[in-house]
Structure 1
């Protein structure tokens, strides 16, 4: 019934045509001799004119279901063969379940371990909260006190620095350095000009040139002496400032110490938060392992495949003892075991030329003949007409689906 053979189909539309004909014949004899003709009449009849479209097609089932396994493994049972009729819910194929049973057992162990780990982190958090004694307020007060002291000492150090920088002796030393720098620049410029004039055709005497150079050297010595006096002045007068600066730095160190204590207290709070996050992670692990167990259990169930429909085994491509691959985890789509065909309805897939497609209508009756029963005609009805044709070698045809309606 389900073999794909070409079948001849005649699709006809019946047209009724009333044909009326009649007449008479006469002969007018103007000649001397007249001869009478015989007139034949017929009875008017009403007959059918049958306009038919003939094509070929193939027999197809109502539905073909390819059977694959979600699990993979060795086939240990395959009770149905080609042409066997199968009812919905009957066992089609069974795989060796040993591997999947091991996976279920391992998933159960993993779930048990994750649940135990969750209980442990919950207990750790309860213990940490019980032992946690917060001294955050006291440490915060110490930090604020240290900040105030440090700010006061930094102010004193700045004031001390300003006092020694603005002292009369230091200002005088600074002025001497600045004067010496100006004088040195002027005398160096003068010595450079004297050198140029001396070298250009003796426009300046050698004695004048040497005097200019000597004065520049003397200005350099005076600048060095002024800088030494300023440095001595700074060294002698900055002891008070250094003391104030040291005190300010010590106060800053105390601020850092207090801040470190406060950070330790904050870290204790952070540790509690981390333990809380550990609980969430452990809970997530439990849920993940639950899903893994359910997946393993489902894969164990998937080692047995049951028929999804009532149908006939039309193809069987696997054998007992064969190792097959999963239809969901294998990139090739898995191993096909068999094909079930629903033969509750049988159809003809036909192709109608575009020149004839306009004559075909949904529900139109069709006469069907098959090679296997050459003396018998089957009845059918058009169930589906494709909206778009297919072009093969510049020949456009439209797929048409015809249901076989004959009871036999």
Structure 2
């Protein structure tokens, strides 16, 4: 507090000294003609209430939701063309017909091949089924023969054993034994033949298994021919080219009688036939400079105009911002995609050039002033007001978006125009030595240098809190009230330039000049 008092007292003393001398012809670094010129360079405005929009402007191109280039899958001569440019088509509508002769022949050949495969498969299945039946019968018969032969062998063995016993008793002759042994040998031979027939059946079973594999192969061949027939039918259908989506024909590249190539059989990619656009939604694709892209985000409102309807404005929304920029001639831009509202589809067409304003911020019914009236210094912002203009008291409502406590008059007395140097304005810099007082060059009551506000033209700076800036207006959040008079320098004035020189190039002294009060304040700070 003591330090602040020590600073304020000398400032007040110096201000009084300057004021006393000004009445006796002592000028603030300007002669009388300079003061008059400076007075004319200052204008007065009032704090207004209204809407402010911060914008990023760019140009772009109107595009549809989707554009599809149509190519024919089949090759051949165009025999009928059912679509023209600007024709509206529905998905599935017939657009182009090709000569189907070749594909029709291919389809018939595929049908014949399939019929042959099916016949061969059916025949193989019938033969296999018959051979399987024969095998089962042979198995049954051989099993019976084997059982009979085995029984005969067992019976012959018993007879041989009995006959030998009788022969030892000399009840039968050797001839009888020889006959029974011969019978045993025959029975054993029959049994051996039956076993061989069993092994032959195993070979037959193996052959039937091979036939089953042949049937599987025949089944595969038939299925392959079925697929070939389906492809032939599809190629036949491909001679009738249909619309892939609902939309508008935007380009046509072929004529009736022209022979086209298929992209599936041509390395060049085939013949482009038509282009159809889905115009159920329209978009604007634009490029935004890297300096502005940080302000652009999806969801922001956009306003679009086109040369065809200069008086109309079309609204839209940002839907996409490219993640990566594109460098062209050392300039980096980012792609932005914006969707237009439904009403735009009735008037706008794809391909039109669009002038786009992206609303990056907006406030409504707020206090605002011309942007050039806002003065900034050391990170703080001020407005210049006539000395006799009403100040905003503590606790008054400043703007729609702020109710912060006001600034005390005792503090504002330190911020008069006579005591501020090196003031930087938005778009203009007031260098040290350029005074902001505009008419106190004459004696009291002389009426010289009357300003547009107070008679003596003196003004002071008050601190304010600013919001967004756009369209030449700056939002004032706190510090002034609606209707408050403010002063601003005419940026077009040729005499009051950034270098602090008058028309004749003489440096301005006085309170704002080197060695004046502002210089002292600068050194103290």
Short-chain TM bin: 0.5 to 0.7
- Tell me how far apart the structure 2 counterparts of residues 366 and 54 of structure 1 sit (CA, whole Å): 10
Alpha-carbon distance change, 113 to 370 in structure 1, aligned in 2, over 3 angstroms: same
- Tell me how far apart the structure 2 counterparts of residues 41 and 316 of structure 1 sit (CA, whole Å): 63
What secondary structure does 1:108 align onto? helix
Using the TM superposition, give the Cα deviation of residue 125 of structure 1 relative to its aligned residue in structure 2, in angstroms.
Answer: 1.5
Structure 2 equivalent of residue 342 of structure 1: 278
Judge which range, 55-64 or 83-92, deviates more: 83-92
**Structure 1 vs Structure 2 CA RMSD:** 3.7
- Tell me how far apart the structure 1 counterparts of residues 216 and 19 of structure 2 sit (CA, whole Å): 120
**Which of 335, 340, 353 is 1:399 aligned to?**
335
Question: How is 1:4-403 mapped onto 2 (pairs within 5 angstroms)?
Answer: 29=20, 43-132=46-135, 133=138, 266-403=202-339
Using the TM superposition, give the Cα deviation of residue 363 of structure 1 relative to its aligned residue in structure 2, in angstroms.
Answer: 2.5
- Tell me how far apart the structure 1 counterparts of residues 22 and 253 of structure 2 sit (CA, whole Å): 94
- Tell me how far apart the structure 1 counterparts of residues 280 and 302 of structure 2 sit (CA, whole Å): 19
Q: Which of 1 and 2 has higher RCO (CA within 8 Å, sep 6+)? A: 1
> Per-residue CA shift, 1:323-379, capped at 9, x if unaligned?
222233433332221000112222111011111011112222223233334454433
Higher Rg of the two aligned structures: 1
> Per-residue CA shift, 1:260-298, capped at 9, x if unaligned?
999866543321111111111112222222222222222
- Tell me how far apart the structure 1 counterparts of residues 332 and 44 of structure 2 sit (CA, whole Å): 49
Using the TM superposition, give the Cα deviation of residue 70 of structure 1 relative to its aligned residue in structure 2, in angstroms.
Answer: 1.9
- Tell me how far apart the structure 1 counterparts of residues 23 and 110 of structure 2 sit (CA, whole Å): 124
Judge which range, 321-330 or 65-74, deviates more: 321-330
Structure 1 equivalent of residue 162 of structure 2: none
Alpha-carbon distance change, 31 to 324 in structure 1, aligned in 2, over 3 angstroms: closer
What secondary structure does 1:275 align onto? helix
Structure 2 equivalent of residue 157 of structure 1: none
Using the TM superposition, give the Cα deviation of residue 92 of structure 1 relative to its aligned residue in structure 2, in angstroms.
Answer: 0.7
Alpha-carbon distance change, 33 to 401 in structure 1, aligned in 2, over 3 angstroms: closer
Using the TM superposition, give the Cα deviation of residue 305 of structure 1 relative to its aligned residue in structure 2, in angstroms.
Answer: 1.8
Using the TM superposition, give the Cα deviation of residue 42 of structure 1 relative to its aligned residue in structure 2, in angstroms.
Answer: 6.2
> May I ask how many residue pairs the two structures share in their alignment?
267
- Higher helix share goes to which structure? 1
> Per-residue CA shift, 1:146-200, capped at 9, x if unaligned?
xxxxxxxxxxxxxxxxxxxxxxxxxxxxxxxxxxxxxxxxxxxxxxxxxxxxxxx
- Tell me how far apart the structure 1 counterparts of residues 311 and 254 of structure 2 sit (CA, whole Å): 38
Structure 1 unpaired stretches of 5+: 1-24, 139-258
- Tell me how far apart the structure 2 counterparts of residues 346 and 302 of structure 1 sit (CA, whole Å): 31
